[in-house]
């Protein structure tokens, strides 16, 4: 809880009573060069095509450095999983599921709900950028589909026709940014600007170890057609420092350097979750003090950024106007996820513009699992982000906090879940229970998380999914509107004897009624890792699982990827277009990379893996 809100405007501090977090803002810089234009390459530009022969001929250290982000692991609050403490979940606390999902394993041709389905970004597209685990991001608008997976993206039309790529995010943003890159993402603002926004984290390490800079880079399309080009790169600092004084923001004392004479204060902003409302582009980050003596760095707390869409669209300065929210309670706000307004919905414009942020209560540490609480916040007056005088003319306000009583969910990694593969494949690393995406759709918030489950309280625990549909509102009877939220519907998704991993959910209104579409991966003794989706009805719950394709090989990874005894795997993404059609992307095990079967290339086996992503556009239609 927070009683005061401290913010800084051009170096002048003020105290605002009855606020909920500390806010630091940065206006348009007084100096700096104008932002340039980034090219969106066409499909015929061969320099972006994969050429493994050229890689094998010139495996340069410099190229590898540019594509070498830190590894984000799921089982602890240290970003490299160096925290070896293992809290456990008692079996009696694991949710017991009575009804598991029916498998409706239909191909695109046999499934009338699937409008289009096609393989997308894969390990073969990454060349030198083979980052693990592969985490897809998906944005769809104006007839274009862009999927970013780690540091590479491709573009398609809505029929699945390939248009451009694979495009290196490093090349796209330009080498002049320097440093290392990780966690690229995209979002299409269909409810307002009709623009594509692409983000990536960039950071520098002194001597390859100590942090010297951390920032979020943003590019915004010039029009609704991404081929017209992008403005950027814009950069927003993510080290938890006041932009004017260079001092640490309130509540981020853990980012203080242990050796100020040699190392700067500041944290690495990591694991970003992107959201968008009527007036701002939002990013929730976890901050890690990697300049400390702790191996892998210490989790310090969250940081929430609100970037003015107006300043991005004007494209005049390389650093846009933004606000930084700090001072959150670190033990209850790990992995803040701002909501994305999905296609077919309007932004929430009440109370001067409203953005929503959520987190799950089981994601901070294994010791906090199991949980039965979700946290939701509202941020009002986001229209201040668009005012010409921002930030002098006002600031967004953290205006409400609601703890939502939920069905129980438990961290799979803490519950002893073993995500097995067929044919003796390496077990996959179980996930934690953090939220990865929150969708806003006409007053409702939709989100999902991984959870351990027991089928009829028998057998070994499995990994499954839990989903929520949350109704939001405001009580206007008081002088200041009070944020209200309640869970309108919730449920589990699981499969007998197998695992549902990496769940995300997006609402779809294409069938005439709002129905959620949950995307995930299906894997276990009976199935190689395959993409699946299921319709979610607020009255009837989840329907049958649909699989547009079934994998025929075990998921493999580069050498060293199973150093913890398990294989890192990626995630899923989901979005809704302006027509209410749900687009989902999930990781799957495609065929092995051909050249990896050549024993003469074993020195280069670090890039030998067989992960891919699969995109499906669906209309849930009649349940199930």
Q: pLDDT tens for residues 389-443?
A: 776 667 888 888 999 999 999 889 888 888 888 877 788 888 888 899 999 999 9
CA distance 421 to 412: 16
- The Cα–Cα gap between 507 and 503 comes to 14
Smallest CA-to-CA distance from 611 within 595, 594, 588 is with: 588
CATH 2.130.10 fits 4-28+89-618, yes or no: yes
Q: What is the pLDDT of residues 490-533, one digit of tens each?
A: 999 999 899 999 999 999 887 667 889 999 999 999 998 899 99
Name residue 7's beta-bridge partners: 14
Helix (H) or strand (E) holding 174: none
Lowest mean pLDDT of 43-52, 320-329, 377-386, 491-500, name the range: 43-52
pLDDT of residue 516: 93
Label the pairing between strands 611-618 and 371-380: unpaired
What is the rounded CA–CA span in Å between residue 600 and residue 322? 52
Alpha-carbon distance of 503 to 522, in angstroms, equals 10
**How far is the C-alpha of 257 from the C-alpha of 245, rounded, in Å?**
16
Q: In the predicted model, is pLDDT for residue 475 greater than 70?
A: yes
Residue 102 has a pLDDT of 58
| Reported confidence tier of residue 602, pLDDT bands at 50, 70, 90 | very low
Let me know if 342 is exposed, middle or buried by CB neighbors in 10 A (0-12, 13-18, 19+): buried
Higher-scoring residue by pLDDT: 228, 210: 228
Range of weakest confidence among 98-107, 211-220, 527-536, 601-610: 601-610
Q: What are phi and psi of 560, to 5 degrees?
A: 90, -10
Q: How many CB atoms lie within 10 A of CB 459?
A: 10
Cis peptide before 133 (omega within 30 of 0): yes
pLDDT at 366 over 70: no
Does an H or E element contain 275, and which?
strand 268-276
* Least confident range of 114-118, 377-381, 570-574, 581-585: 114-118
Question: What is the rounded distance in angstroms from the CA atom of residue 222 to the CA atom of residue 231?
Answer: 6
Percentage of residues of the chain with pLDDT beyond 90: 32
pLDDT of 564 higher than 60: no
How much is the pLDDT for 478? 78
Average pLDDT over residues 330-348: 88
**In 363-399, which positions are buried (b, 16+ CB within 10 angstroms) versus exposed (e)?**
bbbbebbbbebbbbbbbbbbbbbbeeebbeeebbbbb
| Window from 354-368, 470-484, 487-501 with minimum mean pLDDT | 354-368
**Tokens representing 415?**
């519950």
CA distance 61 to 44: 28
Residue 6 has pLDDT above 80, yes or no: no
Give me the pLDDT at residue 502, please: 93
Q: Check residue 264 and give its pLDDT.
A: 79
Report pLDDT digits (tens) over 97-139: 765 665 555 444 456 667 777 666 766 666 545 455 678 999 9
Listed by start position, the domains of the chain span: 4-28+89-618
Residues 6+ apart with CB under 8 A from 208: none
What pLDDT shows up at residue 188? 98
| Per-residue confidence band for 562, with pLDDT thresholds at 50, 70 and 90 | very low
Say if residues 581 and 616 touch (Cβ distance below 8 Å). Answer: no
Query: Do the Cβ atoms of 306 and 282 come closer than 8 Å?
Result: yes
Cα Dmax for the chain? 74
Coil/strand/helix, residue 584: strand
What is the per-residue DSSP string for 489-538?
A: EEEEE-BTTBEEEEEEEEEE-TTSS-EEEEEEEEEETTEEEEEEEEEEET
Handedness of CA 392, 394, 396, 397 (dihedral sign): positive
Residue (of 98, 102, 97, 228) closest to 155 by Cα position: 228
Tokens 């003020």 correspond to 14
pTM: 0.85
Whether cis (ω within 30° of 0) applies to the bond prior to 166 is: yes
Is 190 within 8 Å of 578 (Cβ atoms)?
Answer: yes
For residue range 35-85, list pLDDT tens digits in order: 566 665 543 332 222 222 222 222 222 222 232 223 322 323 333 433 333
Number of H helices, E strands in the chain: 5, 35
User: 428, 403, 408: which is closest to 75 by C-alpha?
Assistant: 428
């Amino acid at each position: 809880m927070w009683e005061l809100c401290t913010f800084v405007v051009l170096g002048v501090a003020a105290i605002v009573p009855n606020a909920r977090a500390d806010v630091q803002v940065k206006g348009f810089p007084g100096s700096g060069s104008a932002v340039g234009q980034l090219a969106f390459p066409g499909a015929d530009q061969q320099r972006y095509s994969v050429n493994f022969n050229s890689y094998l001929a010139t495996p340069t250290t410099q190229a590898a450095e540019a594509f070498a982000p830190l590894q984000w692991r799921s089982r602890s609050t240290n970003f490299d999983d160096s925290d070896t403490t293992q809290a456990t979940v008692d079996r009696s606390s694991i949710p017991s599921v009575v009804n598991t999902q029916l498998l409706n394993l239909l191909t695109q041709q046999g499934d009338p709900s699937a409008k289009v389905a096609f393989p997308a970004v894969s390990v073969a597209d990454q060349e030198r950028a083979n980052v693990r685990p592969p985490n897809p991001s998906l944005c769809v608008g104006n007839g274009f589909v862009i999927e970013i997976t780690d540091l590479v993206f491709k573009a398609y039309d809505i029929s699945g026709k390939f248009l451009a790529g694979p495009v290196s995010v490093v090349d796209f943003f330009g080498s002049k940014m320097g440093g290392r890159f990780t966690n690229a993402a995209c979002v299409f603002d269909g409810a307002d600007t009709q623009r594509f926004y692409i983000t990536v984290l960039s950071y520098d390490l002194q001597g390859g170890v100590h942090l010297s800079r951390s920032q979020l880079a943003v590019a915004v399309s010039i029009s609704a057609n991404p081929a017209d080009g992008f403005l950027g790169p814009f950069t927003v600092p993510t080290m938890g420092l006041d932009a004017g004084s260079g001092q640490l923001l309130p509540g981020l004392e853990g980012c203080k350097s242990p050796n100020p004479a040699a190392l700067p204060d500041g944290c690495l902003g990591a694991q970003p979750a992107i959201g968008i409302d009527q007036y701002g582009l939002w990013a929730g980050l976890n901050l890690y003090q990697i300049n400390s003596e702790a191996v892998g760095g210490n989790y310090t707390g969250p940081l929430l950024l609100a970037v003015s869409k107006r300043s991005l669209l004007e494209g005049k300065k390389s650093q846009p106007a933004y606000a930084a929210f700090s001072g959150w309670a670190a033990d209850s706000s790990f992995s803040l996820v701002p909501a994305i307004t999905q296609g077919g919905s309007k932004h929430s414009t009440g109370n001067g513009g409203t953005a929503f942020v959520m987190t799950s209560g089981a994601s901070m540490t294994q010791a906090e699992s199991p949980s039965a609480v979700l946290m939701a916040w509202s941020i009002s007056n986001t229209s201040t982000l668009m005012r010409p005088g921002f930030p002098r003319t006002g600031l967004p306000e953290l205006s409400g906090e609601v703890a939502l009583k939920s069905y129980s969910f438990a961290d799979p990694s803490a519950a002893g879940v073993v995500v097995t593969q067929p044919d003796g494949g390496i077990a996959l690393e179980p996930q934690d229970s953090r939220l990865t995406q929150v969708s806003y759709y006409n007053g409702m918030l939709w989100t999902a998380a991984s959870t351990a489950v027991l089928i009829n309280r028998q057998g070994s625990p499995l990994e499954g999914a839990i989903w929520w549909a949350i109704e939001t509102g405001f009580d206007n009877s008081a002088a200041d509107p009070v944020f209200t939220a309640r869970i309108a519907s919730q449920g589990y998704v699981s499969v007998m004897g197998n695992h549902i991993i990496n769940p995300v959910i997006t609402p779809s209104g294409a069938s005439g009624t709002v129905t959620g579409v949950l995307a995930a991966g299906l894997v276990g003794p009976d199935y190689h890792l395959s993409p699946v989706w299921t319709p979610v009805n607020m009255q009837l719950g989840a329907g049958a699982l649909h699989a547009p394709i079934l994998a025929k090989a075990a998921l493999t990874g580069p050498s060293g990827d199973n150093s913890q005894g398990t294989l890192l795997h990626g995630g899923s993404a989901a979005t809704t277009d302006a027509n209410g059609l749900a687009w989902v992307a999930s990781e799957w095990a495609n065929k092995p990379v051909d050249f990896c079967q050549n024993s003469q290339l074993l020195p280069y086996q670090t890039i030998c893996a067989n992960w891919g992503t699969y995109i499906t556009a669906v209309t849930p239609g009649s349940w199930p």
